[in-house]
Chains A and B, each alone.
Chain A
Amino acid sequence: MNTVNATHDGHPTGFLRRYVFSIDHKVIAKQYMTLSALMAIIGGGSSYLIRWQLAWPESSIPGWGPIGPDNYNALITLHGTIMVFFVAMPFLLGAFGNYLIPLMVGADDMAFPRLNAMSFWTLFLASTVLVISFFVPGGPAAAGWTSYVPLADKPVYTGVDWGQNLWILAVALEFASFLMGGVNFLVTGLNLRTRGMTLMRLPMLVWMEMTAAVVFLLSVGPLVAGAIMLLLDRVAGTSFFQPERGGDPLLWEHLFWFFGHPEVYVVALPGFGIMLEVIPVFTRKPLFGYAMIVYSTIAAGLLSFIVWAHHMFVSGMDPRLASPFSITTIMISVPFAIITFAMIASLWRGAINLASPMLFALGGLATFLIGGVTGIFLGSAASDIYMHGTYFVVAHFHYTLFPVLFFGGFAGIYFWFPKMFGRMMNEALAKVHFWISFLAFNGVFIPLFLVGLGGSPRRIYELSSYEIFKPLQPLHVVATVSAIALLVGQLPFIVNFFYSMVRGEKAEKNPWHANTLEWTVDSPPTHPNFPTPPRVYRDPYEYSVPGAAADWIAQDAIDERGIQAAGV
């Protein structure tokens, strides 16, 4: 380290350079994590208001007051926008990708550390713009997170003026942020691999983060164009999406979903990556079919580009397009079947330790299966005629995103907390957190599948004007009580997180006896990460190798007796 004002651990000493405008990937990762946690409080809090209104319509919500249909539409819009763009992406890509990619490939930092800081601060700006939009006259955006036009195109249709403009700006800035981040992930994962770290020796999380980055980079362009067109329609008098002046509303739907569907995989793959890191460590055996999983991931990434119109079966597009898009959509079940079956096969004859990271990973897998299989009902154009736009869709996508974001994300926190903060978390509180969350999550969304079977459309402020939907009301009450339990169930985690950070048992370098390179450095790691560049000799998941001295062999161990090349 040639900087003069650096301490013995290599970090800059000035507060601003060290904690705020840092270019250390580990600090930036924690910044992403903090930002996503703050946004999760808003996004999660909004679900409390939404759920209360749905269970007990037009009552005064404890701690808030009554909400009207305009507030309701704004709340669902913000909930979706925040959870996908400002929680899931910063958490799964920003935090885990940043923290782990350099450590796992044996690099000292990201390929472009300053670009990395810039991508975080661009996201910070995007979040600020979104939060400001809550307070402008006319209120925040209320046209849904999909911002369908012309509803989002002309202020007269929603009564929202600058709220929608700022929404577009916030989302566009978010895209810019992750474009920079995505380039960094890709270049770091490909070019900064240390000696011996071949592509097929990469930890699975790196594969998943890189695939997600490529999918994002290739899909977001059309929506950036769409966002600019929408903004021009609103502020400059163009008419890209206004039919009375030659525009076309379906154009927006195509641009949105061309990005919007791949975006699901941008979020899902890193979540899977975390589960795939955790499973071998806690089964003490190699991942079943590493190469198969890599190829399936790439196949799923490619397929995700040709399925978008399944969001538009009943949109009025040419009905002859429905069957081709049904085929591609349902086909995506094959790579995901391979990945999930491989995860299950990885458990076979393992020595399974159901510690908290493993519980969360298995909980994520168990719930994702529900999200996966219910997607078939929506991917088939025929049954989608009935299911489209109902609560079945709401339940389905929560069963795909919640497992990766929540269960995958918390598996990651409980797993890497010792590395990030140098202390262990409390295992009993972690298990309480898991079981409350697991039961409550299912309690929210199983009833909502049934509400969807009853035909009830989503985004309905209250359904009492419909005789046909009235019998579904008790299901909404069950869902809301469960949602409150889910929110309250996060308290054990919050206590555990902050208590452990200060008082937790000191963590050694490698408390889980894991193989990948992040476990060969100090907890927390110094800056730069590796005292000397590590050299990799073997695959990432060599557990319980017959004849080895221990049931794990670090990737940088020269021989099977488990001696590390560097450090030890």
Chain B
Amino acid sequence: MIASYFPQNISTFGGDIDHVFWLILYIVGFFFVAAEALLVYFAVRYRRTDAHAKATYNRGDTTRQAAWVLVPALVVLCFDLGIDAAGHRAWEAVKGPPPPGDVEVKVTAKQFNWNFTYPDPAGKFDTDKNVTLENELHVPVGKKVRLTLSSEDVIHSFWAPNLRLKQDVVPGRKIIAWFEATRPGRYEIACSELCGFGHYSMRGEVIVHDPDDYAKWKAETLENRSASN
């Protein structure tokens, strides 16, 4: 039931993040159910009645008694460390040193738009042959896409749920993010850091093309437009 709420994962590292989610869910789910079950059971079982009017004097301050709390807490600690280890691996896969990009795109956020700038045919930025698209990020499937994120005004956050990629975009900084999409299609981008009046409508799209499609799009859009610049 819970799985059905997640949007489809379409990135190479999305599975790692989802894996950490499920790992945590099973672990905390166990402790949660056990704790709630005991809470309800004790509240019902030891409810004061005429037949059961006297409590047992028990301070929980001998080692033997305290162990009933400390041993489960120690088990919690062990599971915590396991979650830390699994989380670290997934974090490194997404946010560790980024691999070289097959496609490089500059992302400039501003109230309330995403601008995606592609390099000129020679692969250079900051020339007059760059092409900038509003709210549309076109990428090829199965290639590493490297984004350089910056903001013209306030903090925004690049959030593509299907890619499992979220990264704040901070004015005054250039932040690198990357992903590799595994499935062609159109997927939405939202801003997930409150950025003002139009925050709710700061919507963009990632359009993942299959290789032929991407070549065609590139010829039509990037090369034509950059030639006419």
Residues of A at the B interface (CB closer than 8 Å) are: 69-70, 73, 143-144, 148-151, 157-159, 243-244, 247-250, 283-292, 314-316, 319, 322-323, 326-327, 330-331, 333-334, 337-338, 340-342, 344-354, 362, 365-366, 369-370, 373-374, 376-377, 380-383, 385-386, 388-390, 450, 453-455, 457, 459-463, 465-469, 472, 543-546, 551
Contact = CB atoms under 8 A, between A and B. Distances in A.
Given A151-B154, A333-B80, A322 B91 contact: yes
A351 B54 contact: yes
A383 B13 CA distance: 12
A73 B155 contact: no
Nearest to A243: B172
B26 to A, nearest CB: 11
Q: How large is the interface on B (under 10, 10 to 19, 20 to 34, 35 or more residues)?
A: 35 or more
B148 to A, nearest CB: 12
B210 interface: no
A455 B7 contact: yes
Given A73-B194, A316-B168, A373-B32, A354 B47 contact: yes
B191 A323 contact: no
Contact of A353 (B17, B48, B171, B192): B48
Given A249-B170, A249-B171, A382-B17, A334 B73 contact: yes
Given A286-B57, A314-B167, A450-B2, 13 more contacts: A157-B154, A159-B197, A285-B58, A286-B58, A288-B58, A330-B80, A338-B70, A341-B72, A369-B39, A374-B28, A459-B199, A543-B55, A543-B57
12 contacts: A69-B199, A285-B57, A288-B58, A290-B61, A323-B88, A366-B36, A370-B32, A374-B28, A385-B164, A389-B159, A460-B200, A461-B200
A450 B5 contact: yes
Given A292-B69, A319-B91, A349 B55 contact: yes
B39 to A, nearest CB: 5
Q: Which interface residue of A149, A250, A291, A381 has the most chain B CB atoms within 10 A?
A: A381
- Can you list the 7 inter-chain pairs with the closest CB atoms, starting with the nearest? A243-B172, A455-B161, A288-B60, A382-B90, A347-B42, A373-B28, A349-B56
B38 interface: yes
A344 B95 contact: no
A152 to B, nearest CB: 9
B38 to A, nearest CB: 5
A341 B46 CA distance: 17
Contacts of A390: 192
Contacts of A150: 153-155, 171
A455 B7 CA distance: 7
A70 B200 CA distance: 11
A326 B7 contact: no
Contacts of A283: 46, 55
B103 interface: no
Nearest to B71: A341
A150 B154 CA distance: 5
Interface of B: 2, 5-7, 16-18, 20-21, 24-25, 27-29, 31-32, 35-36, 38-40, 42-43, 46-48, 52-61, 65-66, 68-70, 72-73, 76-77, 80-81, 83-84, 86-91, 94-96, 111, 153-155, 157, 159, 161-162, 164-173, 175, 187-188, 190-201, 203
A248 B172 contact: yes
A469 B203 CA distance: 12
B128 to A, nearest CB: 24
Contacts of A354: 43, 47
A73 B57 contact: no
Contacts of A244: 171-172
Given A463-B200, A551-B55, A362 B39 contact: yes
A366 B20 contact: no
Contacts of B165: 385
Nearest to A543: B55
Q: Which interface residue of B16, B76, B162 has the most chain A CB atoms within 10 A?
A: B76
Contacts of A337: 31, 72-73, 76
Given A148-B194, A315-B170, A331-B80, A351 B52 contact: yes
A148 B199 CA distance: 14
Contact of B59 (A286, A323, A348): A286
Contact of B161 (A290, A377, A383, A468): A468
A201 to B, nearest CB: 13
Contacts of B39: 344, 347, 362, 365-366, 369
A544 to B, nearest CB: 4
